[in-house]
């Protein structure tokens, strides 16, 4: 691929102790992610598909350090962030943000939109004063197709699709280079889904942000991705361009997934 690499994942492993196992137990751990390697090019979208339990969400969470990395490297501009402690990681956290699946559970119900969008700014851009933050918030809302006048409202006053737009605005607030989108449209109606997918693509064209797009809907992943990974039981079973993966799948698991999609 000619596009420069933004982030490289090498042999990433996330293991958890088996539930119920004692401290000194030698029981085999749960291998949620077991040796995953891939590259996210700058400004491109990498789609990650698989069923529940395949380890796709854990992979995404490990990259933003919301899941503990057992082994392997996450290389960002030559630096391995995988084993970094949270304090050292702070400047990197600004570069990689996350959009969550549940637009109802991922926004603080007691904060207004200004508060929700200001929090990352206060942490990562402490020099901004209140009116700067307000201006930035207005700009972000416009960018995601909402109105700046709405910044004093609370999450419950918005629909699911609008809330997901707020989640995207929050991720964009700190000008990240990569956004991990964990099933960003699967909780939305198909009609709303289309407009959020279009928004993500428009933002990529405008800002050059890269996405790790995690989803179980193969058609949405095919539509949005430049590169697709298929995960099963913690490992990547197949990867390639959307045409390769969905046009001529090589791995039996990929074929099973494709066959299961109702076509019309």
Task: Name the residues that contact other proteins, by CB under 8 A.
Answer: 51-52, 160, 189-195, 197-198, 201, 216-220, 222-223, 242, 246-247, 256-264
CB 178 within 8 A of CB 96: yes
Give me the least distance between CB of 179 and other proteins, in Å please. Answer: 19
DSSP string over 157-226: GS-HHHHHHHHHHHHHTT--SEEEEESTTTTS-HHHHHHHHHHHHHHHHHH--EEEEEES-HHHHHHH-S
Give me the least distance between CB of 61 and other proteins, in Å please. Answer: 19
Which residues, at least 6 apart from 87, have a Cβ–Cβ distance to it below 8 Å? Answer: none
Give me the least distance between CB of 59 and other proteins, in Å please. Answer: 17
Between 151 and 218, whose beta carbon lies closer to other proteins?
A: 218
Which residues, at least 6 apart from 123, have a Cβ–Cβ distance to it below 8 Å? Answer: none
Nearest to 74 by CA among 15, 32, 11: 11
Token pair belonging to 80: 């391995």
Give me the least distance between CB of 224 and other proteins, in Å please. Answer: 8
Instruction: Report the run of H or E that residue 230 belongs to, with start and end.
Output: strand 227-232
Other residues' Cβ atoms within 10 Å of the Cβ of residue 211: 24
Which residues, at least 6 apart from 247, have a Cβ–Cβ distance to it below 8 Å? Answer: none
Between 132 and 243, whose beta carbon lies closer to other proteins?
A: 243
Q: 213 forms bridges with which residues in the sheet?
A: 47, 181
Give me the least distance between CB of 23 and other proteins, in Å please. Answer: 25
Between 72 and 184, whose beta carbon lies closer to other proteins?
A: 184
Between 76 and 213, whose beta carbon lies closer to other proteins?
A: 213
Give me the least distance between CB of 247 and other proteins, in Å please. Answer: 7
Between 57 and 193, whose beta carbon lies closer to other proteins?
A: 193
Between 166 and 200, whose beta carbon lies closer to other proteins?
A: 200
């Amino acid at each position: 691929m000619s596009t420069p690499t933004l982030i490289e994942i090498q042999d990433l492993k996330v293991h958890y102790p088996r539930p119920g196992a004692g401290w000194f137990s030698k029981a085999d751990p749960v291998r949620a992610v077991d040796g995953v390697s891939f590259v996210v090019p700058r400004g491109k979208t990498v789609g990650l598909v698989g069923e529940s339990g395949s380890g796709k969400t854990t992979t995404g969470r490990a990259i933003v350090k919301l899941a503990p990395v057992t082994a392997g490297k996450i290389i960002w501009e030559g630096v391995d962030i995988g084993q970094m402690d949270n304090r050292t990681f702070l400047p990197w956290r600004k570069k990689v943000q996350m959009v969550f699946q549940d637009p109802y559970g991922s926004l603080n119900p007691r904060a207004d939109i200004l508060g929700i969008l200001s929090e990352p700014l206060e942490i990562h851009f402490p020099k901004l004063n209140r009116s700067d933050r307000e201006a930035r918030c207005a700009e972000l809302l416009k960018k995601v197709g909402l109105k700046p006048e709405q910044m004093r409202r609370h999450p419950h006053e918005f629909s699911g699709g609008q809330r997901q737009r707020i989640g995207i605005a929050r991720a964009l607030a700190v000008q990240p280079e990569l956004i991990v989108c964990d099933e960003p449209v699967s909780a939305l109606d198909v009609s709303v889904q289309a407009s959020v997918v279009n928004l993500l693509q428009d933002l990529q064209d405008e800002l050059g942000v890269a996405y790790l797009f995690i989803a179980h809907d193969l058609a949405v992943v095919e539509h949005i991705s430049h590169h697709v990974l298929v995960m099963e039981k913690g490992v990547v079973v197949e990867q390639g361009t959307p045409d390769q993966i969905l046009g001529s799948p090589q791995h039996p698991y990929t074929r099973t997934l494709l066959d299961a999609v109702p076509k019309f």
